[in-house]
Amino acid sequence: MTKNERLLIAIILFTISIVTSFDLLTDLSEGVVWWHVFTEGLVAFFALIGVYFLMRGTFQLKHSLLEERAFSAKLLEESKQWKENSKKYIDGLSHSIDQQLDRWELTKSEKEVAFFLIKGFSLKEIAQFRSTAEKTTRAQAASIYSKADIKGRSQLSAFFLEDLLVPNQRN
């Protein structure tokens, strides 16, 4: 339910409560039976309760949204800071990987596929990114594995990342 829908429903319920209360006062001065007055009183009361819960929900959603936005901004800032702090290492790793791919004598296309494979993309995704057939990407991946003398994607990633991702040794 959108903010405008909540507001519209709250206005309608508030109007029902006002009109019902006015009718209730008129009925009391005319001496209407007690159960009719009681019923109209309940309608006015429940309409006001509806307004209360709608408005409370709206304020809670607004507060929650502000908290989520602040948290998201914090995460974005942390991500930006991490990227800035680790940029030289990532650039160095990327350069080292590129040099190894040159040593394996990969073509430009094979190098591109190799980087995508290391990043964990599927052959289908790589083919889509590169606007090539999946069969072509599969053949290039096989060529990479053959030139590097490895068995597949896992070994390719492990070749470059295994020593980077050692568990924290705690004493």
Q: Report how far residue 105's alpha carbon sits from residue 117's, in angstroms, rounded to the nearest whole number.
A: 17
The mean pLDDT of the chain is 90
Say how far residue 3 (Cα) sits from the centre of its chain.
Answer: 21
The dotted CATH code for 104-166 is 1.10.10.10
Helix, coil or strand: residue 163: coil
Spatial contact of 40 and 20, defined as CB atoms under 8 Å apart: yes
pTM greater than 0.85 (yes/no): no
- If one counts every other C-beta atom within 10 angstroms of the C-beta of residue 101, the result is 22
pLDDT of residue 102: 94
Domain boundaries, given as residue ranges, for the chain: 1-81, 104-166
Report whether pLDDT(167) > 70.
Answer: no
Sign for the CA dihedral angle at 44, 46, 52, 58 comes to negative
- Using 50, 70 and 90 to split pLDDT, how confident is the model at 112? very high
- Rounded mean pLDDT, 138-152: 95
- Residue range 92-120: mean pLDDT, rounded: 93
